[in-house]
Structure formats: structure tokens, C-alpha cells
Chains A and B, each alone.
Chain A
Amino acid sequence: MSSAPIHAGRSLVVDAVSHRFGPSTALQDINLDVKGGELVALLGPSGCGKTTLLRIIAGFIAQSEGRIVIGDDVVDALPPARRAVGIVFQNYALFPHMTIAENIAYGLAARGASRTVQKETVARMLDLVKLGGFGERLPRQLSGGQQQRVALARALAIEPSILLLDEPFAALDKNLRLDMQIEVKRLQRLSGITTILVTHDQEEALSMADRVAVLSHGRLEQFATPTSIYDTPATRFVNTFVGSANELGGTVLGTDGDFLRVRLDSGGDVSVRAPGGMLSEGSRVAVCLRPEHLRIDAPGEDGFAGVVEMALPLGPTVVHEVRTGTGAALKISEPRSGGSLLRAAGTAVRISTAGPGLATAYPQTV
């Protein structure tokens, strides 16, 4: 693999980009600063504007406001052909009437590369995506995963400065998806190419990306490392969309060092993070607690009371669904160590929260 192309990835800046389709706003003031060689995932639910942002970066649509900067160049005036971006579409969009080799050579031919250069590059690319010997086949004679690797090879053949991937794994089955995720990550590391990966699969975003941009309704909710996204979510949307979270109502008691002290409606006090700023005593908050941050069977009168509704042994973890005195349903997950046991439905338990600062409080809006 020493023949793999090593091109220093160029940086990408999305500067205050907004986009409107007629009266409806698809993107609202998006700011992203992607370093050269970084892999950034755009994560968000369906219709939040991920594809729109990708198409703006590629140059297929002109944004209503803001700038796109690649390296040192503002590219807003450039057509897609001159932005030097590579794109892999969700359906791969391989040219069905051309062989694999012709597909990969397409961009080089369009740039006027000589036949020798084309042949060399095609061979190198096929090698890179481990499809040597497939050059003369047609796309329809390849499996989904192989087609995807061809799409990747075709995009990389022109040595783009930015690689854009629109839900590249969505059409693959689970095992193949994991293989391809590893493969893409390997290729990305190897080539050092700046990459934007669009996905609505949070595991994919968290496992593959250096940083994750979470979008919701056309707004950027948070742009941070996977660890920060998961452990210190900036908004209630991020907290509930990434990973799962139990939401409990509560009232602010006061501050506790860097944290906020909150009395939960179901009973018990917790020290929580307050990313929206400190809230005054007595204000209502929604406290988000991850299932792994709750403990069943607090000693004595600690924590608050609940009744087990269901126990789900999920391989390495055990999840209990518990209903609190206030009627809220909670999911509590515990590692399946030797001592942990499945509690029968109807068992009365006491629930406590693990450690200060693990839960997060957001101002209650409703």
C-alpha cells in the first residue's frame, strides 16, 4: 500500500451558511471549521438539512447566505467541476454503461490525463480498494459493498481536496456496513483526505468521526468530539438524539460548585451540569439522565422509589424499565457482571443517580 496517494488534506470552512428553498429555511447560520485531514460527521434526523449542506459544499446548489472556503480559496463562484471535491452518493451513482475501469478513469479523462496516466491510476485505485482484477466488469456485476468501493475509488482518483460521503453505508447490511466503515476509515487515514460524512446513524458518527456536527431543523446544535457530544451534550436535542436519555422534571435548589443542585419530582437530589448557564433557584428544569448513570437498589432511604416493569437481558448489559412514583418510565442499564440479576416485574426498588455532573439539566420550556 506504499503506492497509495498521500495528499495533505485541505481545510474546509463553512462560514455562516444559510439556505432557503422558497419560503422554507433548510439551513440556518451554519458555522463549521474543518481542519485538513479531519473526518467530520454530519449527524441529524431525516430532513434536518444534511444533504443540502453537502450539496452546497460540492457546489450543486448555491447557498442563500454565507461562504464556503476550501483551503485558502472562497469557492462560492466555482462550479462543482472546479471545486476539486470527490463525492460518493448514497446510491453510488456509478455509470451503468461503463466498466469499473472506465468509471474510475472518468474524472481523469475529463481532466485530459493521458491514457498511460489513466491506466496507472486505475490500477492503483483498484489496488487501494482491494478490487484488483475487477476492472473490466460492469457495475451491475458487483455486489453492493464492491460497488461502494468503486464509487470511493472513482471519487479518490481525481485526488480531491475534500471527500464528501452522503450516507454511504445506509444501503449495506449490518456486517458489511461495519467492514466498510473500517475500510473507509483506513482509506481516509491513509490518504489524509479531509472528509465529510453524512449520516443519521449515531453509532457510525461517534465511531468514525474525529468530530461530529449535530444538526436539527437546519440548525447546528453542537460541533465537538464524539466524547464531548456523548458526555457533555450542549443541548437537550443532542442529549436525547445521541445515545438514549431519561428525562425527569425537577426544580433548582441552588448551585453546587460547578454544578446545579436539582430536586427531582420523583424524589432525591442530583448535581447536574447546566450547559445553558446557571439557573436561578426555584426554576423548573428537565434533567436528562443516561441509562448507565442510574443505579438500582440504592441502600436504605437514598434516591427515590420505583417499580420494575420489565427486565431486558441485552447481551453485555441488562436493562430494566422502571416506573417512578410520579409515573415517569425510566430505562436503567447495568453491566452484566456476575452479581447482577434480573429483577422480576413488580419488584419495588430504590434508584439513585451515579456521581455528580453526569446528568444534565435544561430549562423546562413546556
Chain B
Amino acid sequence: MAASGLRRSIDVSGYDLRLAMPLAGFFAAFFLAPLAVLVVLSFQTDTTGAHWGVTQYVQFLGDAFSLGVLASTLWLGVKVTAVCLVFGWPVAWLHARSGPTVKSLIMLIVLLPLLTSVVVRTFAWIVILGRQGIVNATLMSLGLVEAPLKLLYTDLGVVTALAQVQMPLMVLPLATALSRIDPNLVAASEVLGAGEWRTFAKVILPLSLPGIVAGSMLTYAASITAFITQSLIGGGQMLFMPMYLYQQASTLQNWPFAAAISIIFLIAVLAVVTVFNTLGRLSRGFAQG
């Protein structure tokens, strides 16, 4: 009740739109303008800039290697998001159902990684996953494996490290959505004769959908563009879009092709985000009381 009162007294539409002008100007200068330059650049047929056409796009879309990089990047996002969801959901549920002390403890643990740099966290994963790393040392001292396992520079390594790095982006929206679920709904379900699984499947899970959608969208977008973690843990053998882009632009100086890669990647990401957004709108309508 207090919240609705608050909402009424702070009427956002009452503010002058001109107050948003500095931010709009900033966006125009440092986001829209470069984006426009990028689009223009992607329609040059060669690095000299003499001819115009769609050859860069034709080249990317006709090249199995390039398409493979795009596919593996989008697929990487799916895997990381799935791992974050499976491990993050129970943490968020625990957070929503705990007393105040445990609640703030869980929040602290979830937020702690955000207080260190991504570079530091990624190097920590290199130490953990390396040939002489913590995991291999433990497995070997226990006699479970003869020779060290290859963990670094593998798909498993990249997914694990990315999932840890992006976990807060999944847990925070989920925790918000789950703490909004009225505990009486769970009690009502129980007293009507539903077992724990039915209560979970019919009440808790559907009502947590807005959080799942929001968390997945953030995690997905962040993990497919995570240049540092992807390249350090993936190493030279695994190539994802951000690194591919970087190589074309910086190493090969092929700016038009790099621009085309950016635009294609951007469109692919926007498509995924649009799907998530639509799902989100549907699920919010569906879960609201």
C-alpha cells in the first residue's frame, strides 16, 4: 500500500523531458554515430573504400567457417544460460525463503564476484583448470586420473568459467521475481492437496517466469559478448564472434569485413533479445496478480 502511495506521489511524466537531453546527446555521439559509421563501412567491397556493395555479407554468409563461428557463439550462450539457470534458480529460491541474516549472506556471496575484475576472475579459472591446476592436482592425488585432464581451452572450461562470471546476472532478477511470490500461494497449494512437485510445477515455476526470462536475457547477452573470458579460457583453438571480429579488425586490418561481422552479430543478438522480450511480456501478463 505504501508503494502505491509512493508511485502516485512521484509522477515521472511530470518531469521535463529536457532533463534527458544530456544523456540523449551522449548516446547520439558515442553510440548511434559509431553504429552508423559501422553500417556504412560494412557496405564497402574492399579496404580501399572505392566500391560499394554487399560482398562482405555475401562472403560471411557463404563461408562455412564464419557461419560456424556465429553458430558456436550463439550455442555457447545457450549452454551458459542453461547452466546459470539450473544452478542459479535454487540459490534464488533459498534467498527468497530465508530469514534476513541468511538472505543478506546469500546476496553477499552472489554479489562478491562483481566486486572483482573479470580479468582477475578469469585468471583464477586458469589457475583452477590448468594442467597443474587445483582440479587436476586434486584428481591426481586422489588417484582418480593418471594424467592431468585437459580442462583449459575446452568447451567445458569456457562454459564453467562463463557461468560463474555471469551468475549474478541470472540470480538477481530471479531472486526479485521469487521474493514477489506470496508464501500463502504455496500454503494454499499444499492445503488443497498438492505435493511439492505439483506446487513447484504449477505455481512456483510459472510465477518465476518473468525472472527466468529477464535473467536469461542478461546472461545470454553477456556471455556471448564476453571477450576476455572467452578468449583466455578458450585459448587459440576456440574461436567466438568477439575474437573473430577483433582479429579481422586489428590483426588483418580488414575493417569492412569486421564491420559486416559486427552488424550480423548485432542482428543475431537483437533477434534473440526480441524473442526473450516477447516471452517476457507474455509471462509477465501471465504471472501478474
**A-to-B contact residues, CB < 8 Å:** 58-60, 79-83, 85-87, 89, 91, 93-97, 106-107, 110-111, 139-140, 154, 158
Contact = CB atoms under 8 A, between A and B. Distances in A.
B137 interface: no
Interface in B253-289: 286-289
Given A93-B182, A96-B207, A80 B190 contact: yes
Interface stretch (B70-78, B192-200, B217-225): B192-200
Given A93-B185, A95-B185, A95-B203, A158 B192 contact: yes
A89 B186 CA distance: 12
A89 B187 contact: yes
B194 A81 contact: yes
Given A81-B195, A106-B194, A139 B289 contact: yes
Contacts, number: 68
A107 B184 contact: no
A21 to B, nearest CB: 12
Contacts of A79: 190
Given A95-B202, A96-B289, 4 more contacts: A60-B187, A87-B188, A95-B185, A158-B193
Contacts of A87: 187-188, 191
Interface of B: 182, 184-185, 187-195, 198, 202-203, 206-207, 286-289
9 contacts: A80-B190, A81-B195, A87-B188, A93-B184, A93-B185, A94-B289, A96-B289, A107-B192, A110-B193
Given A140-B288, A140-B289, A81 B191 contact: yes
Contacts of B206: 97
Contact of A80 (B191, B202, B203, B207): B191
A154 B192 contact: yes
A231 to B, nearest CB: 37
A139 B289 CA distance: 7
A97 B287 contact: yes
Nearest to A164: B191
B2 to A, nearest CB: 16
A93 B203 CA distance: 11
A110 B207 contact: no
A19 B28 CA distance: 64
* Interface-central residue, A91, A106, A139, A140, by most chain B CB under 10 Å: A106
A96 B188 contact: no
Contacts of B207: 96-97
Contacts of A86: 191
B192 A106 contact: yes
A89 B192 CA distance: 13
A111 B193 contact: yes
B288 A96 contact: yes
B213 to A, nearest CB: 14
Contacts of B184: 89, 91, 93
Contacts of B187: 58, 60, 80, 87, 89, 93
